[in-house]
Amino acid sequence: MTFELQYRIGRRWVVIAVHATRNAARDDAAQRIAFLVADGFKHGDVVRDFRVRGVSQQVAA
């Protein structure tokens, strides 16, 4: 299973990174949020605009 880091743009969720572990994906999200806040991003719901989703890998027959 891989984990996708997704960002919300309007009503759509866009995959911005794929990680092997959930912790790596969550760390990546935390770093991106910290960068946006340090850069002066004022949107209060910036944390809600990121999510981590688990994705099952299909096995080729």
Q: Tens digit of pLDDT for each residue in 22-43?
A: 999 999 999 998 888 888 887 6
Residue 39's identity, in one-letter code, is: D
**How high is the mean pLDDT of the chain?**
88
Cβ proximity of 29 and 47 under 8 Å: no
Q: pTM of the full predicted structure?
A: 0.80
- Examine residue 61 and state whether it is found in any structural domain, yes or no: no
Domain hosting residue 35, numbered range = 2-55
Residue 60 domain-assigned?
A: no
Tell me, yes or no, whether 17 lies in a domain. yes
Compute the C-alpha angle 18/25/45, nearest 5°. 110
